Structures are given as structure tokens and as C-alpha cells.
Amino acid sequence: MPGDLLADPRITLLGPQRQPRLGTVVQQLGLTGSRFATITAGWRDRESDDGLLHEQLGGNAVNLHLWRRMQQVWEADPELEQADRRRRQALTEMQTLYLIGLEQAAVAINRILEHTPLDPGIVALALQDVLQVMRDMDERHLQRVGELHHDFYLRQNPEHRDAVVEARFLVGREIAGCDAIVIPGGHVGVLLGALHLFNLGPALSSPSEDEDGTPDLFRPVIAWGAGAMALTERVLLFYDNAVARPGVSEMLMDGLALTRDVVALPSPKDRLDIKNLERMRVLAARTAPAHALLLDEGVRVTLTADGRLPAGSRVVGADGQATDLVLEGEA
């Protein structure tokens, strides 16, 4: 971990904060006394219930109130609100139909695994085929979701609408007066919608001149839950213990892409069947070449300067086992 995160900003991803450790983390990161901007839009109408959060930050914090400001934008610009509602309806239908396909693929994998093999090599090839189908579905879904978002912003031009311009200015001014950013959990879709509407990607980072294009952070960012997911290249929803339907992980949309090769899995012990190695192998294969990062209680991972996982990060290995990440050249 760098000695001075204010001079060398990094992203720090945490496990769940049911037993708050944020104050301790702030101290360990050398950020005591810093002024924080908090983004709690994922909490929606509970956005302002931030007393404990700000207490953990030493009381020196400002809530950007993106959820409230988003509601104010919709009220001031009904045309934009209606267009956004149509977009959300389309996204919901796309997600529902995509999930139907994934569920059928998951059933196929289970049936293949239950098959008594005469030739294990043939079974392995059949599994690879279904996995490739799932990976193709994931890619097409993310592409179509991205196209829908792009079309919305191209047609509606929120950057030229008075209500959005004013709100973005106010948010940008508040961020400018802060040293670091904190993004808790909540509803990841709502959180990402707010982050995009107020153009927080460029407010948090600038495009890098490096070949890999990893953005350069302006300020340190601490995030967990949906906040951690929102910072990554793509958001994966996962719930192996679903009751009404077969539990199958599903891609939701691209995140802010402030990381590289990271898929964040908050609270995996609560939401994943970790002991089921076949399910974990499938998950690892679908997220590859990115690493599926396990963010359990007490975990703290500070990414490298180029937004990658450091050695020792707990990830799902290709064999389905939870393992400590070994970087190339360190094996």
C-alpha cells in the first residue's frame, strides 16, 4: 500500500460494513483529517441516513445527495424523466429475457454434470460448449445494454439541459472541496444511474496516457457493496440461493471502469455456494480474464496505481477454489 494516498490516489475495496470498520480503515490508509464526499445514492430514499457513516469519517464529510438531486432533475425536466423511464423499462425487459436464457444454460450444465460419463473428455467438451454459450450471451447482453445507454445520452443530450447542467456544477463544486470519496452499497443499478447522470466518472478520474487506458484518479476512493461493483469494468449480479428461480449469476451493465480485470463479489459467503466447486468454476470461467474478487467481512484491498488487484487478493480460481492471487512472475 502506498504511504500517501492523497499524493498517490488509489481505490480501496472493503467487505461489508455491518460492523463498521470504516473509521479504522481511514486511519490505516493515512486519511485521518481528510474531508470526504459520500455517495449514498444506492440507498435511494434512505440516502440521508448517513449519521453513522459520517461519524466513522470523523464528521468531516459532505453527502453529495445524488438520489435527491436526481429526483429534482426529473421534476424540473419531465421530458428527460419520461425518456429515462422508457430506458429503464427496456433495460428490465432485456435483463429478464437474458436471464431466461442463462437459466436454461445453467440447467444444461447441471444435466451434463449429472450424466454418468463413458468418456470424461467428451463431457468436458460439452461443458465447454455450454460455458461458451453463456459467455457469448454475457457479451451480447452487455453490448446491447451499452448501446441502449449510448442512444439515451445521444438523443436526450442531458449535458445541454439546464437542470442537469446546474446539478452537475453543484456536485462538481462539492467534490472539488474534498480530499477523498466514499461510496457505500445499496442498489447498484440506481447508484450507477446517478453516477452517470451527474458525470462522476470524469469527476473522479482523468483518462490515462498509458497504453492500457487505466484512468488516473484525482482522489482516493473507498467503496464497498454496490459501491465496489460500480467502480469496476462490469457488474455481475449473483445469488446462488435463489428460491423462486434457478440461481444463476447475470451481467447487469458496464461499471465506471476505474479498475482493470476486477469483478467485485460483495458478501460472497452470504450469496454464493462457495463449497460447490462446479458452480464456482462456471463463475470463474464467465468472468475470465478478470478476477472474481471475494469481498467478505473484514476484507480490505487497495488496488495498484493502475487499478489492478495486488498479490494476495482473495479470488475465485479457475478450479473453483477460493485462492490468494499470485501475479505473473511471482509464482
- State the pLDDT at residue 107: 93
- State the pLDDT at residue 2: 47
Confidence (pTM): 0.94
Which residues, given as ranges, of the chain have pLDDT below 70? 1-3, 208-213, 241-246, 329-331
- State the pLDDT at residue 214: 75
- State the pLDDT at residue 60: 96
- State the pLDDT at residue 5: 85
The dihedral over CA atoms of 326, 327, 328, 331, expressed in degrees to the nearest 10, equals -30
Left, alpha or beta for 303 (phi > 0: left; psi -120 to 50: alpha)?
Answer: beta
CA distance 170 to 180: 17
Domains of the chain, start order: 11-75+158-324 (3.40.50.880)
